[in-house]
Amino acid sequence: MDQLLPLQQILGTDKKNPVFTIYRDAKEQILHVYYACKLLEKVPDDKRHPGFKLLLARLSNAGVKAAVLERIFGVDHKTMKRWGSALTSGDPELLMRVLAGREVNRKLSLEIRSYIEIRFPTIYQETRYEYSKRIREEIERVSGKRISGETIQSLLKVLKEKERGKVDPIEPELEAKNGENHCDYLGPKDSKGREIEEVLPGNISLKCSEIHI
């Protein structure tokens, strides 16, 4: 039975990559990354690990051939490019979301979703500008979980539309409250409450009660 070598080279240098060499420790499931002749870092050989994703992001940004990386590590070149772009964006929250990938949606558990639905009406009434921040701060304080604004953005949009739908048109409400109708505005009355006739061209008189709208 052949014995596995402690380290196996999986990425060597070439014209596009004159400095990086990577060895795989199959036993320990670790990638040894060398810059020239010096060990740069050790990264878990696990596609789900952030360190693994950051390594491919750096290699992609360094100009290593995408086809070579795709063949060695089994990750789509578009995904590696997206990781690389997030790494150089300077936006920590974006980088966290991109590295989390599909896992980010799992953070919004049923319990957290229910909490947001319960607290949103109150918080939204208190602040129309920082409600997302307030909700995320409460969630972190209560559950210890940090959630990005984008993770709950779609849910907050739905809840906001529901809150706006609760507001009734003001004009019918005012009319019902004051007990007035259109005729009250079109046909003024004198001090004794009698209807005043409107004189139209041709000496034709018309009372408000005769107007139908």
Reference 105, options 150, 138, 140; nearest CA is 150
Q: Which residue has the tokens 């009698």?
A: 194
Distance of CA 173 to the CA centre of its chain: 37
Supply the pLDDT for residue 115: 87
pLDDT of residue 39: 93
User: Both ends of the chain: CA-CA distance in Å?
Assistant: 99
What is the pLDDT, as a whole number, of residue 68?
Answer: 94
In sequence order, the 6+-apart residues with CB closer than 8 A to the CB of 156 are: 116, 120, 131, 132, 135
Identify the pLDDT of residue 166: 66
- 90-147: per-residue pLDDT in tens? 888 788 778 877 655 555 777 788 888 889 999 999 988 899 999 999 988 887 788 8
Low-confidence ranges of the chain (pLDDT < 70): 1-5, 102-107, 166-213
Q: What is the pLDDT of residue 27?
A: 87
Q: Which residues contact 61 (CB under 8 A, 6 or more apart)?
A: 84, 87, 88
Pick the closest to residue 98 from 156, 50, 166, 27 (CA basis): 50
